[in-house]
Structure 1
Amino acid sequence: MNRGGKTLLVLALVAVVGMAFRVSWNALRDVARAVGADSTAATLYPFVVDGLMALALVATLVLTDRADKRFALRVLAAYTVASLVLNYVHGLVPELHGRSVDWGRLADWDPANWMLVLLATSLPVGSIYFGSDLVAKVLHHRPTPPADAEKSDQIDVNRSMPDLVESTPEPPVPLVELPVIEPVAVDLQHPIGEPAESTPVGAVAAESVRPVRATGRVPDAARNARPTRTAEELLNEARSVTADWPDTDLTAERIRKAVRTSAEKARTLRDTLRAERAADREAVDSAA
C-alpha cells in the first residue's frame, strides 16, 4: 500500500474512533452525574475512561519489553470492560437519560448497585495510577537498535548452549628413526659420458644418492629397548628360556612374549624348537 492509501486508512480510523468516543461519552457522562459528579466533572469523566484506553493502546504499540507490553494490554482490557459495563448500565436504566434517577442509584438490587457505584467511582483513581505508570514506562523506554538486538539474541543463544567439552589433545606422533640409505658406488675408472663395459647400451648410469641423516635427537621412548639380535642369538635365548617347558606350552605366542620378538620370528623359533625336540626323542628311541 502506498503512502496515500495509508494516510486515508489512518484518517478513517481516527474518524471511527472519534464517533465511537462521542457515543460512549454520552453514556459515561450520565453515569458520572448519577454517582454525584457536577456538570464539569461529568463532562470530563468520559475522557478519564476512554482516554486511558487510547493511552494504553499507544503504550502497547511503543513498548518492546514483554512485561511492559503485557501490563499495557491488561490496562487496556480492564478499562475496555469497565466502559462496556457502564454503557450497558446506561442502556438498561432509562432514568439515567432524563436525570430522574436517585443520586447514587444505578441498579435496583443493592449488591449490584454497590458494585456499579464502586466501579464508576474507582475508574478516575485508577486512571491516575495506571496512566502515570504507562507514561513513565514510555518515557523511560529505550528502543534497541536492530544491530544490538541481533547481537543480544546471539549472546542469549550462546549462553543457552551447554559448555563444550574440551577435546582431548591428540597424542604426540612418535619420532621414527629414518633408515640410512647407503651410497651407491660409482665406477670412476671410466670418464664421464663414457659407459662402463658391464653397462648395456641405452642404460642410464645411476646417480649417487647422499645419505639422509635424521635431524634432531631421537627420544628415548622411540629407541629400541634391546639391541638387534641375530637369528642364532635369538634361537639360543629361546632354547634357554624354554628348556623346562612342556611341549604343550611351546607356542608361538608364549615364545614371543618370553624372548620379546615379533610374531613371525616367534613362529620360526617354535618350529625350530619342536623339530629339535622331535630329533632328540628319535635319537633316544634309536639308542634304546
Structure 2
Amino acid sequence: MKLNRKGKTLLVLALVAVVAMAFRVSWNALRDVARAIGADDTAATLYPFVVDGLMALALVATLVLVGPDRRFALRVLGTYTLASLVLNYVHGLVPELHGSTVDWGKLADWPPANYALVLLATSLPVGAIYFGSDLVAKILDHRPDTAPVESVCGPDDDASAHHPHTPTHPTDQPPTLDAPAVEAPALEAASAQVADRVGPVRELDPHTPHTIRTADDTTAEGELRQAQFEDAQLERTRQDARRAYSESAQAGRPLSARALGDAFGMSESWARKQILAVRGEEPTRPQLRAIDTMAVS
C-alpha cells in the first residue's frame, strides 16, 4: 500500500519523536562517560550531540545516497550505534559515573578493558569530524540523474530489464536500407528476436492486402535486400549497446555483461564482446611509417 503525503508526513514526525526521546535517554549516559574521561562541563554536555548527532547524519545519508556511498553511510551508522550502545552499557554497569565518584579515566576495573573503553570514548569525536565531513561531501556530490542507470542493471547488477516491444504483425516486405530508422529510444531499438529471425519466413498479415508469394517468386535481389536489412539491424543493435555501455561507464556505474545482454535481448557473451569493443576504442594517433622509395621504384 502506497502512503499518501499526509501519511508520509506523520511517519516522518513519528520517527523524529522517537529519535528525540532516544537521544534524551542516551544523553545522560554519554555525558557522564565524557566527564569520566576528563571533559569539562561544556564538553560533556556537547559530547552526546557528537555521537548521536553523527548517527542522525548517517541515517539521512542512507536515505539520499545510493550504491557504494549508501553502504558506507550504513557502516558509519552501524559503527556509531554500536559505540553508543557500549558506552550506555558501561554507564549502566558503573552507577558511580553519574555521581562523578570514580577516578579520572576509570571506566572498568580490568585495565585492558578500561584502556579499550577510554580509547573508544575519546576517538568518537575525532571520528565524527572525519566521517561527518565525508558523508556531507558525498551528499553534496550526489547526482540524482544517474539513478536511471540502475533501472537497467539493478542495484547489484542482478535485475533484468524489460525486453523491447516488437510489432505483433510484421509486414511481408522488409524495409529497404533507405527506410527511416526505428522510432524508439536506444534501448528499445534492439529486439530479442533480431538474432533469431535471420532467415525464417515471416507470417503474413491477414489485415493487409498482399499477394501470395511462392518459392519461385523469390529472386536473388530480394534475398540480398533481406540479408542487407538484417545486417543493418544487427549493426544498429551493436552500436546502441556500445553507446549504452559507454554512457553507463561515464556515469560511474558501468553495466555488467549480463545486464547489457538482457537489455538488448542478446546473450551474455554477445554483450561481453560489445563491452570489449568499447574498451578497445581508445583514441590512438596514427603511426607514420617511412616508405623505401628505392624499393618502390
Taking structure 1 as the reference length, the TM-score comes to: 0.53
Superposed CA deviations along residues 232-288 of structure 1, whole A, max 9, x for unmatched, are xxxxxxxxxxxxxxxxxxxxxxxxxxxxxxxxxxxxxxxxxxxxxxxxxxxxxxxxx
Q: 1:146 to 1:48 in 2, by over 3 A?
A: closer
Bigger relative contact order, structure 1 or 2, given CA contacts below 8 A and separation 6+? 2
Change (3 A) 1:151 1:106: closer
Alpha-carbon distance in structure 1 between the residues aligned to 2:137 and 2:113: 35
Counterpart of 1:102 in 2: which secondary structure? coil
Secondary structure at the aligned position of 1:135 is classed as helix
Which of 37, 56, 81 aligns to 2:58? It is: 56
Unaligned runs of 5+ in 2: 155-243, 246-254, 262-266, 274-297
Cα distance 1:112–1:141, how it changes in 2: closer, same or farther (>3 A)?
same
Larger radius of gyration between Structure 1 and Structure 2: 1
Q: Which amino acid aligns with 1:91?
A: G
Matches within 5 A, 1:204-223: none
Partner of 1:133: 134
Residues 153, 260 of structure 2: 8 Å contact kept: no
User: Who is 2:270 aligned against?
Assistant: 163
Instruction: Give the deviation of 1:13 after TM superposition.
Output: 1.6
1:36 aligns with 38
Q: Are the aligned partners of 2:38 and 2:104 in contact in 1 as well (CA < 8 Å)?
A: yes
- 1:70 offset after TM fit, Å? 1.2
After superposition, the Cα gap between the structure-2 partners of 1:146 and 1:126, relative to the gap in structure 1 and judged at 3 Å, is closer
> How far is the alpha carbon of 1:144 from its aligned partner?
2.4
C-alpha displacement of 1:69: 1.2
Distance 1:14 1:108, change over 3 A: same
Q: Which residue of 2 aligns with 1:104?
A: 105
Aligned equivalents of 1:83 and 1:125: distance in 2?
Answer: 15
Matched with 1:94 is: 95
The residue number in structure 1 matching 2:47 is 45
Identity, % of aligned positions: 74
* Offset of residue 94 of structure 1: 1.0
Do 2:57 and 2:132's aligned partners in 1 also have CA atoms closer than 8 Å? yes
Matched, 1:74 2:176: no
Query: Where does the alignment leave 5 or more consecutive residues of structure 1 unmatched?
Result: 166-288
- The amino acid of 2:114's aligned partner reads N
Q: Are residues 120 and 145 of structure 1, via their aligned partners in 2, closer, same or farther at CA, if it must alter by over 3 Å?
A: closer
RMSD: 2.2
- Between the two proteins, the alignment pairs up a number of residues equal to 164
2:14 equivalent among 12, 15, 32:
12
Task: Name the counterpart of 1:118.
Answer: 119
Give the TM-score normalised by the residue count of structure 2: 0.51
